[in-house]
C-alpha cells in the first residue's frame, strides 16, 4: 500500500525528491535492492539530501557495494557532520570493508554522543571477534546485552561468539542458549494446530529458511541437499532472508520449487506465509548467525521444525523439534545440551559438492623447497591465543618449517600485527610466517599448492575450509573438543578414512603434524590419491546422502503423524535422547543411549 501511494504521488509530481527517497526506503525494506538504488538515484537527482544519501548507502551495503556506500555516508557527513545515523552507518560500512580501526573510531564517536547505544557495542563486539580478540568481543557484547536485553540479535551475536571461546564449559554454553530460548522463544500467539494432512506416506513440502542461499561457507553443503532430494517425494520452498544474490543464488532458484524473498517480513507475517504454503517440515539453516529468522520458528508455523548445517550447537528453542547432527558431532551423553531432539545422519550431516573449477592438486612444496610449510586458511576469529601458541610449539619442534595464514581479515594492518606479535613473542621469527589476505575462491584453491599440511584451529574448527584443503590433496591435523563445532573436521576425516589425523590432545596434535612432516613422499602420494578417495567416499556420495536425508525427514514426519492420529499433538520434550532415523520409526522408539562420554 505504501508503494502504491508513493507511486501515485510520483505520477503527479515526478520531481518530488522526498517521495523518491521514501520509495527507496520502502523498496529496501522489501529486499528489492536494485529498484531501491534506482529510486534513491532519482531522489538525489532532484534533491541532494542527507536522508536520501543515507538510504542510498543502506541499499548499497546490502547490495554488497561497500565502497559506494562509504562514499554516500561520507557525502552525508559533509552536508551534516553531526548526523548521528550517517556516522553509525559509516562505521558499519568500514566494518564490512575490513577497515576495523577506522570503524572502531567511528563507533567510539557514536558512543561519545550516545553512551547507552547498545548496538554500537554489539558491532564493536563483532569487530573484535573478527580480529580474533574473543575476550574483548565478549566484553563488548555483554555490555550491549546489559544495555538492551530485549534485542535477540545482540544475544545471538553473544552466543555465536561464545563458540569461539576455548574457555567455555559445555554446561555454561548450553545455559546461555537456553536463556535465549526462554526470553525470545515463547511468543504469544504460538501455533498449536496445523491443517497439514497427517498421512505418513504422502509427498512432503519442505521449507528452507536461510540467509545462506548465496555464496557462503555452508552453500556447497546446502546445494548437496537440494540435489539429493527426490522431487517426486519432496517439494522444496525457499525462504531467503538475505537480499544479496549471486551466481550461487541463481543455482538455488533453479533447483527450488518455490522462492520467497522474506527480507522485510516480520516474524508473524513470515509464519503466516509458511502456513499458507502448507509446509510440513520447516528447516532453519542459520541458527544464531546473521539474518536468522528464529523468531519465526518460535511461533511454530510448521508441524515439524528442525535446524541443520549453519549453526553447530543448539538454538535453545524448544519450538524446534530436531537438531540434525551426526555421530561424531554429538556423542552419547551430550543430548542434554540441546533444547531440540538430536537426530543423527549417518555417517555425516554433511555432503560435499566439490567445485567444478578446482585445479588439479599440485605437488607438495617440500619437494622443491626442502622445508615443510604448514598452513591455515581459516577465519582469523578462530585464531585465538591458544591456537597460535600451539602452532608455535609445532614450529619450535621443526626449526626449518614455515607457516602460511590466509584470511580476508589479514589485509587489515592491526590484525596482521596482532598475529605477528603473538608469533614473535612465542620465539618464532617473522621470516617463518607469511600472511595472505582476501582473494577469489579460485585463487584460494590454487594456493593450497603452497602448503604441505593444513592445521585446523580449535575450538571452532574448519568446515568448508577443511573440505577444500582435503579436495586439494592436503592432509589436515585436527584436535576435536567437546563442542560439535570443534568436531567438524573430524567428521570429514573419518568420512574419508583418515582417523589417524585426529589428535586427542595438544601433544598428540604436534606429534601427528611432525610425523606427517617427516614423510615428504607420503605427502606426495596424498596429492595424487586423496581427491579420488574423497570422491569415492560417503562424504561426496549424493545418492547415499539423499537416501539418508529422505529417510530422516520421513521419520520425523511419521512421528508427527503418529502423534496426530492419537490426537495428542504433545510437544517434544525439551531435553530428550538422541535418535537415529530408524529409532523414530513407529514402534521402534528406543530408550536413551548410555550417558558415559569418553570423548572429553
SS3 for 176-219 is HHHHHHHHHCCCCCCCCCCCCCCCCCCCEEEEEEECCCCCCCCH
Query: Could you tell me how many residues make up the chain?
Result: 600
Percent helix, strand, coil in the chain, to 5, is 50, 10, 40
Query: Which residue ranges make up each domain of the chain?
Result: 2-151, 204-351+544-584, 366-538
**Cis peptide leading into residue 347 (ω within 30°):** yes
Side-by-side strand order, sheet with 476-477: 433-436, 402-406, 373-376, 453-455, 476-477
Which DSSP helix (H) or strand (E) runs through 234?
A: strand 234-240
pLDDT value at 89 more than 60: yes
Closest Cα partner for 37 from 48, 18, 53, 17?
A: 53
Closest Cα partner for 27 from 68, 55, 64?
A: 55
Q: What is the pLDDT of residues 261-311, one digit of tens each?
A: 999 899 999 999 999 999 999 999 999 999 999 999 999 999 999 999 999
C-alpha triplet 282, 163, 376: angle, nearest 5°: 105
Q: Which has more pLDDT, 567 or 12?
A: 12
Model confidence at 64, in pLDDT bands (50, 70, 90)? Answer: confident
3-state per-residue secondary structure call for 268-337: HHHHHHHHHCCCCEEEECCCCCCCCCHHHHHCCCCCEEEECCCCCCCCCCCCCCEEEEECCCCCCCCHHH
What mean pLDDT comes out for the span 143-167? 98
pLDDT value at 588 more than 90: no
What mean pLDDT comes out for the span 339-363? 94
What mean pLDDT comes out for the span 136-157? 98
Residue 415 to residue 582: CA distance in whole angstroms = 48
Q: What is the pLDDT of residues 522-575, one digit of tens each?
A: 999 999 999 999 999 999 999 999 999 999 999 999 999 999 987 654 444 444
Determine the 3-state secondary structure of 405 from DSSP: strand
Determine the 3-state secondary structure of 235 from DSSP: strand
Model confidence at 3, in pLDDT bands (50, 70, 90)? Answer: confident
Task: Give 414's Cβ-side CA count (13 Å radius).
Answer: 13
Strands 258-261 and 322-326: unpaired
pLDDT attached to residue 578: 42
Q: What is the pLDDT of residues 236-247, one digit of tens each?
A: 999 999 988 899
Model confidence at 424, in pLDDT bands (50, 70, 90)? Answer: very high
Model confidence at 8, in pLDDT bands (50, 70, 90)? Answer: confident
Q: Which has more pLDDT, 404 or 264?
A: 404
pLDDT value at 233 more than 70: yes
Task: Give 183's Cβ-side CA count (13 Å radius).
Answer: 17
pLDDT attached to residue 568: 53
What are the distances in angstroms from CA 77 to CA 72, 83, 86?
9, 7, 6
Contact 490, 349 (CB under 8 A): no
What mean pLDDT comes out for the span 584-591? 34
Q: What is the mean pLDDT of the chain?
A: 92
> Which CATH class for the 2-151 domain?
mainly alpha
Residue 476 to residue 468: CA distance in whole angstroms = 11
Model confidence at 1, in pLDDT bands (50, 70, 90)? Answer: low
Contact 203, 232 (CB under 8 A): yes
At 101, phi and psi to the nearest 5? Answer: -65, -40
Q: What is the pLDDT of residues 367-393, one digit of tens each?
A: 999 999 999 999 999 999 999 999 999
Residue 63 to residue 550: CA distance in whole angstroms = 35
Locate all alpha helices (DSSP H) within 407-537, ordered by sequence: 413-425, 441-447, 464-471, 488-495, 506-517, 520-535
Q: pLDDT exceeding 70 applies to what percent of the chain?
A: 94
Residues 6+ apart with CB under 8 A from 598: none
pLDDT attached to residue 585: 40
Residues 6+ apart with CB under 8 A from 245: 214
366-538 adopts what CATH topology?
Rossmann fold (3.40.50)
Cell 529409532 -> residue: 583
pLDDT attached to residue 92: 97
Task: Please indicate whether the domains covering 2-151 and 204-351+544-584 agree at the CATH topology level.
Answer: no
pLDDT attached to residue 413: 94
Residue 411 to residue 437: CA distance in whole angstroms = 5
What mean pLDDT comes out for the span 168-190? 96
DSSP states along 426-461: TT--GGGEEEE----HHHHHHHGGG-SEEE--SSS-
Strands 234-240 and 304-307: unpaired
Model confidence at 148, in pLDDT bands (50, 70, 90)? Answer: very high
Side-by-side strand order, sheet with 304-307: 258-261, 234-240, 204-210, 281-284, 304-307, 322-326, 341-345, 579-580
**What CATH architecture does domain 204-351+544-584 belong to?**
3-Layer(aba) Sandwich (3.40)
Cell 522489501 -> residue: 30
pLDDT value at 329 more than 50: yes
Contact 302, 274 (CB under 8 A): yes
Model confidence at 517, in pLDDT bands (50, 70, 90)? Answer: very high
pLDDT attached to residue 466: 97
Residues 6+ apart with CB under 8 A from 125: 137, 138, 139, 140, 141, 144, 157, 158, 161
Q: pLDDT exceeding 90 applies to what percent of the chain?
A: 87
pLDDT attached to residue 509: 99
pLDDT value at 589 more than 50: no
Residue 590 to residue 332: CA distance in whole angstroms = 14
Determine the 3-state secondary structure of 261 from DSSP: strand
**Cis peptide leading into residue 153 (ω within 30°):** no
Amino acid at each position: 500500500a505504501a508503494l502504491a501511494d508513493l507511486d501515485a504521488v510520483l505520477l503527479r509530481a515526478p520531481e518530488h525528491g522526498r517521495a523518491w527517497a521514501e520509495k527507496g526506503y520502502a523498496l529496501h525494506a522489501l529486499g528489492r535492492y536494485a529498484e531501491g538504488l534506482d529510486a534513491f538515484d532519482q531522489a538525489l537527482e532532484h534533491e541532494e539530501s542527507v536522508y536520501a544519501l543515507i538510504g542510498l548507502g543502506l541499499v548499497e551495503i546490502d547490495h554488497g557495494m561497500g565502497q559506494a556506500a562509504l562514499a554516500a555516508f561520507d557525502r552525508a557527513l559533509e552536508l551534516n557532520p553531526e548526523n548521528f545515523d550517517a556516522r553509525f552507518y559509516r562505521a558499519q560500512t568500514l566494518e564490512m570493508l575490513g577497515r576495523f580501526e577506522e570503524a572502531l573510531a567511528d563507533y567510539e564517536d557514536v558512543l561519545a554522543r550516545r553512551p547507552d547505544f547498545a548496538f554500537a557495542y554489539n558491532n564493536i563486539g563483532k569487530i573484535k571477534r573478527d580480529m580474533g580478540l574473543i575476550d574483548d568481543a565478549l566484553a563488548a557484547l555483554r555490555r550491549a546485552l546489559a544495555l538492551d536485553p530485549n534485542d535477540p540479535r545482540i544475544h545471538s551475536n553473544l552466543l555465536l561468539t561464545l563458540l569461539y571461546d576455548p574457555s567455555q564449559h559445555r554446561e555454561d554454553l548450553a545455559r546461555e542458549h537456553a536463556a535465549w530460548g526462554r526470553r525470545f522463544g515463547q511468543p504469544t500467539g504460538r501455533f498449536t494446530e496445523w491443517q497439514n494432512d497427517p498421512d505418513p506416506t504422502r509427498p512432503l513440502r519442505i521449507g528452507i529458511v536461510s540467509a545462506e542461499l548465496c555464496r557462503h561457507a555452508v552453500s556447497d553443503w546446502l546445494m548437496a541437499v537440494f540435489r539429493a532430494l527426490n522431487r517426486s517425494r519432496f517439494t522444496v520452498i525457499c525462504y531467503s532472508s538475505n537480499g544479496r544474490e549471486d551466481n550461487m543464488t541463481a543455482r538455488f532458484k533453479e533447483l527450488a520449487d518455490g522462492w520467497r524473498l522474506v527480507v522485510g517480513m516480520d516474524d508473524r507475517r513470515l509464519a503466516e506465509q509458511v502456513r499458507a504454503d502448507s509446509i510440513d517440515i520447516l528447516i532453519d539453516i542459520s541458527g544464531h548467525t546473521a539474518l536468522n529468522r528464529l523468531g519465526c520458528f518460535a511461533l511454530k508455523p510448521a508441524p515439524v521444525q528442525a535446524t541443520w548445517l549453519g549453526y553447530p550447537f543448539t538454538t535453545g528453542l524448544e519450538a524446534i523439534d530436531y537438531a540434525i547432527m551426526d555421530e561424531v558431532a554429538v556423542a552419547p551423553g551430550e543430548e542434554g545440551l540441546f533444547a531440540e531432539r538430536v537426530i543423527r545422519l549417518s555417517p555425516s550431516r554433511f555432503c560435499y559438492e566439490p567445485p567444478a573449477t578446482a585445479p588439479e592438486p599440485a605437488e607438495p612444496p617440500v619437494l622443491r623447497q626442502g622445508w615443510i610449510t604448514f598452513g591455515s586458511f581459516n577465519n582469523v576469529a578462530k585464531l585465538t591465543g591458544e591456537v597460535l601458541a600451539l602452532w608455535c610449539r609445532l614450529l619450535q619442534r621443526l626449526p626449518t618449517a614455515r607457516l602460511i595464514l590466509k584470511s580476508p581479515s589479514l589485509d587489515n594492518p592491526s590484525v596482521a600485527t596482532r598475529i605477528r606479535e603473538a608469533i614473535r613473542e612465542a620465539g618464532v621469527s617473522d621470516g617463518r610466517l607469511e600472511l595472505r589476505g582476501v582473494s577469489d575462491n579460485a585463487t584460494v584453491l590454487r594456493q593450497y599448492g603452497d602448503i604441505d599440511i593444513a592445521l585446523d584451529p580449535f575450538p571452532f574448527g574448519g568446515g568448508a575450509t577443511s573440505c577444500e584443503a582435503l579436495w586439494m590433496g592436503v592432509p589436515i591435523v585436527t584436535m576435536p573438543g567437546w563442542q560439535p563445532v570443534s568436531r567438524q573436521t573430524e567428521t570429514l576425516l573419518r568420512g574419508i578414512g583418515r582417523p589417524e589425523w585426529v589428535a586427542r590432545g595438544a601433544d598428540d596434535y604436534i606429534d601427528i603434524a611432525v610425523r606427517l612432516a617427516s614423510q615428504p613422499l607420503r605427502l606426495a602420494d596424498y596429492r595424487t590419491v586423496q581427491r579420488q578417495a574423497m570422491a569415492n567416499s560417503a562424504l561426496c556420495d549424493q545418492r547415499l546422502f539423499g537416501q539418508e536425508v529422505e529417510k530422516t525427514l520421513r521419520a520425523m514426519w511419521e512421528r508427527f503423524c503418529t502423534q496426530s492420529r492419537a490426537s495428542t499433538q504433545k510437544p517434544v520434550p525439551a531435553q530428550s535422547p538422541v535418535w537415529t532415523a530408524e529409532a523414530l520409526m513407529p514402534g521402534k522408539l528406543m530408550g536413551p543411549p548410555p550417558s558415559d562420554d569418553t570423548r572429553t
